[in-house]
């Protein structure tokens, strides 16, 4: 039977072209957004950004120093809550988790990671803001921790699974208890991979806005206590972007640039740790 | 042979201690404690999910009691008058997400195929990294760009063009607002493409090479191989990726809030402003006018939670069904 | 010869798989016993039950008794961790801890249990490395990573690590299977020396090796102990047909 291969080849070429076009269409917005952040951010940023708090409406200048501090404090607090839970939870899954319960945990973690972050904010609101009778940095940190836990749990588990069983056995055979083996051999061997996961999780929560809307709330000034509302970079970007003042837009762009630089540094660091030499 | 007489006292002490412990009663308490500790942390995931569901249900009960399900078909939203019709938000969420998914899917699958099967390995890897970069950008930054750059551009160029040339279609009628349903759809599309792409890529990589080789061995062109061997095998996984993207689109808050215009109306035109479920929560929850208002917003949150849970469970099951066997995810 | 370890009706199941069937056996003290047999015969499973390594496998079930001196190591009151302190193990593939230096690997047993005294460490490291004839090769780079050593050196380091905690019995699971002939020879010489102080039980798939290093030999087939006796006798005048078939290379 004779066929005309040319039609098939044309079709092949056409589809290939379409896929290349799709890729370009996907990457184009990245380039455009990136250029805008760089251009607008670089022209708006100044030393004041890092040292000043926002000026009242009508006055020019000001910065996001309180937001930077607030973001840092809340990320640190949520790491304090989220990392032990995520990492030790993952230890259970790898060391003892050969049962249906562990499967349920894995599945729940995946599902939890897909819950819209604004819901996390609502839950933190009812659990903390209402009983404590006020918006607070603490509630913001808890909301962020709830987002962090499933991410850290799953990435840590993946890393722990890569540790060769022979290392665990070597330690156990020396008469080292399982718990010490897990902490000092298994976790220690997987540490670069775990750090990668932690950095990515931090990068993720550093940009979260929705869960902070009704927990940390934001603050035009410095916060003195963890039980007070606190500023955060993403919240400030949001508030300034939707305000009608040109000057605030500039601050928002500067904030976006800083946030993007922080996130890219985190993911670069994560890549660096991710490429460290692994097990032979 | 040299017999070591210098075995230190420490070693002797250690051995003596070990021998006593050999039949001591306090065996392995450290291990047991550790096991329970890690179990507790692990179980906290389930606890968090349960508490989430419990709190959302508890807080929305007043609204559910007062309005029943009728509230989901009400069109009027006026918290001050205690008129709570959630239909505009449901409509906005569904329309923006579905249209964004429809636009994002072909782009994502195309890009994933480009990464796995068309581009040279290095280029594919680079594109893949860029896509992941795109996924890592916070939604508030998409929103910032959307409201300050994209929306004005839509208002000045795209929307007038649509009105002039396609104005006979109801979807493209009205005045060019800039912030609109259309802007929300665009921004959502840009945001979910990386998610669908990276999971689709994962699914495609999990397809056994034998499948591809079999098709090539029969003389298939690359496209025929993709269509006949690769895509059917990965179909359910890709569907999972798309559904996961849908879940993300429905739950997306900040970027949409910043570009959709936040007007509780049901307008057929995509050029008109709209509103979504997460957006109304974001805008009103911190400053509710009454307890009932808060409870109604909770109920909207509950609907959002249930919808995203169902979507995520479906998506995870579909993705697991493809990648599980290959990536060695433990059973 | 005195008996150090006794198996009494040992059975090991993995789920529905009956891996070791009703094995009874006396391992003599201060001598080398080889366990041989075709792959899948249960020889490694027997070895691993001797230091309760199966405890970590949820599907594994061990029944019967294993007496170390006069204590059943599977007794409810016995701590498996203490068992492993008295019964050390060397594995098939050299497995030094990659994040630790050579020095730290030797004293890993103390370091990991938090019982290391700095003043004792140097003595332990030197004496143990000398016993495995590694001291001269590494004494100038004790602080470097253990992963830079050759395979044979790594395996000797693992043996040093094992004897550093002063066990009474040393289990070896095909310790030379990943090594070249020269490294193998060194390990075999070392095994010969170790038996003066320790009871050595070695699993090997290499019959020449069993003949060279061991005093007694146990032959396993399909999870059962077929024959056990002095190595000399097993390799020259075996009683069972299966043993003869195996050592003459007719199967396995």
Nearest by CB: A122 against B28, B130, B298: B298
Find residue B160's DSSP bridge partners. none
Residue pair B82/B290 in contact by the 8 Å Cβ criterion: yes
Is C95–A170 a contact, with Cβ atoms under 8 angstroms apart?
yes
Question: Considering chain B, what is the average pLDDT of its residues?
Answer: 87
pTM: 0.88
Asked if pLDDT for residue B26 goes beyond 80, the answer is no
- What is the pLDDT, as a whole number, of residue B306? 95
Chains interfacing with C (3 or more CB pairs < 8 Å)? A, B
User: Chain C residues with CB-CB distance to B under 8 A?
Assistant: 71, 75, 77-83, 85-86, 110, 115, 117, 120, 123-124, 126-128, 130-131, 164-166, 193, 196-197
Contacts of C128 (CB under 8 A, 6+ apart): B4, C106, C160, C161, C163, C164
- What is the pLDDT, as a whole number, of residue B327? 42
Residue A194 Cα distances to A87, A156, A197, A198, B199, angstroms: 8, 5, 5, 6, 21
Residue C86 Cα distances to B10, B33, C22, C51, C162, angstroms: 16, 24, 24, 9, 10
Region C23-45 average pLDDT:
94
Rounded Cα distance between C54 and C66, Å, is: 13
Rounded Cα distance between C96 and C164, Å, is: 14
**Lookup: tokens for B273:** 């402003």
- What is the pLDDT, as a whole number, of residue A279? 63
Set of chain C residues whose Cβ sits within 8 Å of the Cβ of A167: 95, 97-98
Lowest-confidence pick of A52-56, A271-275, B87-91, C2-6: A271-275
Neighbour count for residue A267 (Cβ, 10 Å): 19
Q: What is the DSSP string of A233-266?
A: HHHHHHHHHSSS-HHHHHHHHHHHHHHHHHHHHH
**Residue in A119, C190, A137, C51 with CA at minimum distance from that of residue B251:** A119
Is B42–A88 a contact, with Cβ atoms under 8 angstroms apart?
yes
Find residue C219's DSSP bridge partners. C36, C227
**Residue in B56, B47, B248 with CA at minimum distance from that of residue A124:** B56
Highest mean pLDDT among A7-11, B251-255, B318-322: B251-255
**Pairing status of strand C199-203 against strand C32-36:** parallel
**Lookup: tokens for A150:** 């499933």
Q: How confident is the model at residue B13 (pLDDT cuts 50, 70, 90)?
A: very low
ipTM: 0.93
- What is the pLDDT, as a whole number, of residue B190? 96
- What is the pLDDT, as a whole number, of residue B134? 87
Rounded Cα distance between A23 and B29, Å, is: 57
Residue in the block written with tokens 């995946």: A110
Dihedral pair phi/psi, residue B3, rounded to 5°: -85, 130
The secondary structure of residue C9, as a DSSP letter, is: E
Nearest by CB: B247 against A88, A92, A114: A114
**Pairing status of strand B83-84 against strand C87-90:** unpaired
- What is the pLDDT, as a whole number, of residue A2? 53
Asked if pLDDT for residue B69 goes beyond 70, the answer is yes
Q: How confident is the model at residue B215 (pLDDT cuts 50, 70, 90)?
A: confident
**Lookup: tokens for C60:** 């594994």
Residues B173-194 pLDDT 10s: 888 889 999 999 999 999 999 9
Is B25–C77 a contact, with Cβ atoms under 8 angstroms apart?
yes
Name the CA radius of gyration of chain A, rounded: 24
Rounded Cα distance between A85 and A146, Å, is: 10
Is B285–A214 a contact, with Cβ atoms under 8 angstroms apart?
yes
Chains interfacing with B (3 or more CB pairs < 8 Å)? A, C
Rounded Cα distance between B64 and B84, Å, is: 12
Q: How confident is the model at residue A272 (pLDDT cuts 50, 70, 90)?
A: confident
Asked if pLDDT for residue B27 goes beyond 60, the answer is no
Q: How many CB pairs under 8 A join A and C?
A: 73
Residue pair A144/A78 in contact by the 8 Å Cβ criterion: yes
Rounded Cα distance between B81 and B20, Å, is: 78
**Lookup: tokens for C143:** 């602080």
Q: How far is B6 from chain C (nearest CA, A)?
A: 7
**Lookup: tokens for A158:** 């993946």
Q: How far is A169 from chain B (nearest CA, A)?
A: 15
Set of chain C residues whose Cβ sits within 8 Å of the Cβ of B27: 77-82
Q: How confident is the model at residue B80 (pLDDT cuts 50, 70, 90)?
A: confident
Residue pair B256/B184 in contact by the 8 Å Cβ criterion: yes
Set of chain A residues whose Cβ sits within 8 Å of the Cβ of B144: 237-238, 241, 252-253, 256
Rounded Cα distance between B69 and A189, Å, is: 54
Is B286–A97 a contact, with Cβ atoms under 8 angstroms apart?
no
Asked if pLDDT for residue B52 goes beyond 50, the answer is yes
Asked if pLDDT for residue A254 goes beyond 80, the answer is yes
Q: How confident is the model at residue A4 (pLDDT cuts 50, 70, 90)?
A: low
Q: Which H or E run includes B329?
A: none
| Secondary structure in 3-state letters for B303-319 | HHHHHHHHHHHHHHHHH
Nearest by CB: B42 against A105, A203, A242: A105
Q: Is the dihedral of CA B249, B250, B252, B258 positive or negative?
A: positive
Highest mean pLDDT among A42-51, A265-274, B18-27: A42-51
Rounded Cα distance between C52 and A177, Å, is: 12
- What is the pLDDT, as a whole number, of residue B73? 84
Q: Which residue of B has its CA nearest to A38?
A: B145
Q: What is the DSSP string of B19-57?
A: HHHTT-S-TTHHHHHHHHHHHHHHHHHHHHHHHHHHHHH
Cβ density class C109-146: b for 16+ within 10 Å, e for less: bbbbbeebeeebbebbbbbbbbbbbbbeebeeebeebb
The secondary structure of residue A208, as a DSSP letter, is: -
Percent of chain C with pLDDT over 70: 99
- What is the pLDDT, as a whole number, of residue B133? 87
Q: How far is C214 from chain B (nearest CA, A)?
A: 19
- What is the pLDDT, as a whole number, of residue C93? 92
Nearest by CB: C127 against B7, B24, B25: B7
- What is the pLDDT, as a whole number, of residue C251? 67
Question: Considering chain C, what is the average pLDDT of its residues?
Answer: 92
Dihedral pair phi/psi, residue C163, rounded to 5°: -75, -15
Helices (runs of H) and strands (runs of E) counted in chain B: 14, 2
Asked if pLDDT for residue A185 goes beyond 70, the answer is yes
- What is the pLDDT, as a whole number, of residue A75? 97
Rounded Cα distance between A21 and A27, Å, is: 10
- What is the pLDDT, as a whole number, of residue B12? 46
- What is the pLDDT, as a whole number, of residue B92? 96
Q: How confident is the model at residue A277 (pLDDT cuts 50, 70, 90)?
A: low
Rounded Cα distance between B256 and B268, Å, is: 18
Region A141-147 average pLDDT:
97
Angle between helices B29-67 and A117-124 (to 10 degrees): 90
Region A14-34 average pLDDT:
94
**Lookup: tokens for B231:** 């895509």
Asked if pLDDT for residue B7 goes beyond 80, the answer is no
Residues A190-239 pLDDT 10s: 999 999 999 999 999 999 999 999 999 999 999 999 999 999 999 999 99
Rounded Cα distance between B256 and B235, Å, is: 30
Rounded Cα distance between B249 and B321, Å, is: 23
- What is the pLDDT, as a whole number, of residue C55? 86
Q: Which H or E run includes A106?
A: helix A100-113
Helix, strand and coil in chain A, % to nearest 5: 75, 0, 25
Q: Which residue of A has its CA nearest to C162?
A: A174
Region C141-145 average pLDDT:
94
- What is the pLDDT, as a whole number, of residue C117? 83
Rounded Cα distance between C19 and B113, Å, is: 47
CA atoms within 13 A on the CB side of B224: 15
Region C248-252 average pLDDT:
73
- What is the pLDDT, as a whole number, of residue B11? 45
- What is the pLDDT, as a whole number, of residue B173? 87
Asked if pLDDT for residue B25 goes beyond 50, the answer is no
- What is the pLDDT, as a whole number, of residue B257? 97
Nearest by CB: B27 against C79, C127, C164: C79
Residues C200-233 pLDDT 10s: 999 998 999 999 999 999 999 999 999 999 999 9
Region A117-144 average pLDDT:
96
Q: Which H or E run includes B239?
A: helix B231-251
Is B18–C85 a contact, with Cβ atoms under 8 angstroms apart?
yes
Q: Which residue of B has its CA nearest to C118?
A: B10
Rounded Cα distance between B134 and B21, Å, is: 57
- What is the pLDDT, as a whole number, of residue A278? 59
Asked if pLDDT for residue B20 goes beyond 50, the answer is no
């Amino acid at each position: 039977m004779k066929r005309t291969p040319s039609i098939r080849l044309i079709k092949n070429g056409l589809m290939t072209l379409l896929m290349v076009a799709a890729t370009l269409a996907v990457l184009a917005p990245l380039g455009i957004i990136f250029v805008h952040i760089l251009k607008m951010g670089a022209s708006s940023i100044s030393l004041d950004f890092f040292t000043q708090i926002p000026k009242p409406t009508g006055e020019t200048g000001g910065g996001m120093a309180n937001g930077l501090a607030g973001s840092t404090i809340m990320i640190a607090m949520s790491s304090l809550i989220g990392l032990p839970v995520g990492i030790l939870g993952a230890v259970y899954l790898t060391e003892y988790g050969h049962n249906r319960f562990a499967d349920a945990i894995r599945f729940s973690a995946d599902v939890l990671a897909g819950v819209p972050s604004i819901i996390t904010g609502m839950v933190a609101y009812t659990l903390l803001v209402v009983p404590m009778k006020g918006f607070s940095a603490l509630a913001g940190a808890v909301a962020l921790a709830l987002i962090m836990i499933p991410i850290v749990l799953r990435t840590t588990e993946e890393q722990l699974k890569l540790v060769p069983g022979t290392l665990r056995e070597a330690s156990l055979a020396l008469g080292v208890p399982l718990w010490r083996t897990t902490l000092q051999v298994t976790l220690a061997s997987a540490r670069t991979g775990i750090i990668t996961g932690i950095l990515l999780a931090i990068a993720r929560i550093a940009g979260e806005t929705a869960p902070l809307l009704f927990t940390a709330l934001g603050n035009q000034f410095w916060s003195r206590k963890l039980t007070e509302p606190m500023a955060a970079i993403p919240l400030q970007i949001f508030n300034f972007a939707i305000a009608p003042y040109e000057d605030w837009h500039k601050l928002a762009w500067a904030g976006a640039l800083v946030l993007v630089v922080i996130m890219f540094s985190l993911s670069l660091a994560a890549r660096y740790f991710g490429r460290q030499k692994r097990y032979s | 042979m040299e017999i070591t007489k210098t075995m230190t006292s420490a070693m002797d002490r250690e051995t003596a201690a070990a021998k006593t412990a050999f039949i001591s009663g306090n065996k392995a308490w450290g291990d047991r404690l550790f096991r329970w500790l890690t179990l507790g942390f692990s179980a906290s995931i389930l606890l968090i999910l349960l508490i989430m569901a419990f709190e959302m249900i508890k807080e929305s009960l007043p609204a559910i009691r007062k309005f029943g399900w009728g509230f989901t078909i009400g069109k009027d939203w006026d918290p001050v008058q205690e008129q709570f019709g959630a239909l505009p938000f449901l409509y906005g969420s569904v329309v923006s997400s579905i249209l964004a998914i429809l636009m994002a899917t072909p782009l994502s699958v195309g890009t994933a195929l480009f990464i796995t099967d068309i581009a040279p390995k290095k280029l594919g890897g680079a594109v893949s990294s860029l896509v992941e970069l795109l996924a890592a950008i916070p939604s508030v930054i998409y929103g910032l760009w959307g409201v300050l750059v994209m929306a004005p551009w839509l208002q000045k160029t795209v929307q007038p063009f649509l009105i002039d040339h396609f104005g006979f279609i109801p979807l493209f009628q009205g005045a060019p607002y800039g912030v609109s349903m259309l802007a929300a759809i665009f921004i959502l599309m840009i945001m979910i493409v990386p998610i669908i792409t990276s999971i689709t890529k994962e699914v495609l990589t999990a397809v056994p090479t034998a499948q591809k080789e079999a098709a090539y061995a029969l003389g298939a062109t690359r496209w025929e191989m993709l269509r006949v061997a690769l895509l059917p095998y990965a179909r359910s996984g890709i569907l999972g990726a798309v559904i996961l993207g849908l879940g993300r689109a429905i739950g997306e808050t900040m970027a949409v809030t910043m570009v959709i215009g936040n007007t509780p109306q049901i307008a057929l035109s995509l050029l008109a402003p709209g509103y979504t479920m997460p957006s109304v929560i974001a805008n009103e929850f911190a400053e509710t006018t009454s307890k009932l208002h808060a409870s109604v917003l909770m109920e909207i949150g509950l609907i959002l939670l249930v919808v995203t849970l169902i979507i995520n469970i479906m998506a995870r099951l579909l993705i697991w069904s493809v990648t599980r066997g290959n990536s060695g995810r433990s059973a | 010869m005195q008996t150090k370890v006794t198996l009494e009706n040992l059975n090991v199941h993995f789920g529905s798989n009956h891996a070791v069937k009703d094995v009874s056996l006396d391992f003599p003290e201060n001598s080398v016993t080889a366990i041989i047999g075709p792959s899948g015969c249960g020889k490694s499973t027997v070895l691993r039950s001797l230091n309760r390594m199966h405890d970590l496998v949820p599907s594994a079930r061990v029944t019967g008794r294993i007496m170390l001196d006069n204590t059943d190591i599977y007794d409810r009151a016995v701590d498996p961790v203490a068992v492993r302190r008295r019964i050390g193990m060397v594995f098939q593939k050299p497995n030094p801890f990659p994040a630790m230096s050579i020095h730290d690997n030797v004293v890993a047993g103390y370091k990991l249990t938090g019982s290391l005294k700095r003043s004792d460490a140097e003595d332990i490291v030197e004496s143990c490395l000398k016993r495995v004839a590694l001291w001269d090769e590494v004494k100038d780079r004790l602080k470097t990573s253990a992963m830079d050593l050759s395979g044979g050196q790594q395996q000797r380091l693992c043996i040093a690590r094992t004897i550093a905690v002063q066990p009474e019995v040393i289990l070896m699971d095909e310790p030379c299977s990943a090594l070249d002939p020269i490294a193998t020879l060194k390990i075999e010489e070392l095994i010969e020396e170790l038996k003066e102080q320790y009871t050595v039980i070695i699993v090997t798939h290499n019959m020449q090796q069993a003949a060279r290093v061991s005093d007694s030999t146990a032959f396993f087939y399909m999870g059962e102990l077929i024959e056990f006796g002095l190595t000399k006798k097993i390799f020259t005048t075996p009683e069972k047909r299966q043993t003869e078939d195996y050592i003459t290379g007719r199967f396995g």
